[in-house]
Homo-oligomer: A and B are copies of this chain.
Amino acid sequence: MKPSFEALKQELARKNIHLSHQRLKVLDYLTRYPCHPTAEQIFADLHKDLSTLSKTTVYNTLRTLAEAGLVRVITTDNNESRYEIATDNHGHFKCDCCGAIYDFWIDTEALHSPDLAHFEIGSRSVYFKGVCPRCL
């Protein structure tokens, strides 16, 4: 259940985060291209149309949006940070062959362990690796 761009804008307004041109562009990009891009990719693509955009702003914006809970950072292997619109109950699959990242449905809220009885759990993430159908 991906939130629409309009819903995200309202969410930002509700949290008193200014809807600047740059922030809306980043948010729009993430809703339009849900391919889990890196900051570099986001910057490179947006820079084509918005030549004044700086990479620092992309990083700042992503951090702001992540702190607001609208964006989630996926830390894959190889220390690459990738970004997506935050949605619940899905995991990520990374193909060892082509590097693509796929979303898949999984009830992450249902994950529990007796060892964590006295822990306060804030977030649960699931990350699989392997080979995708396209590469098989």
Contacts and interface: CB of A to CB of B under 8 A. Distances in A.
A124 B122 contact: no
User: Copies per complex?
Assistant: 2
Is the interface on chain A under 10, 10 to 19, 20 to 34, or 35 or more residues? Answer: 35 or more
Contacts of A105: 113-115
A82 B45 CA distance: 32
Contacts of A96: 122
A84 to B, nearest CB: 14
Contacts of A93: 116, 119, 121
12 contacts: A75-B76, A75-B77, A93-B116, A105-B113, A118-B133, A119-B130, A122-B128, A124-B126, A124-B128, A125-B127, A125-B128, A126-B127
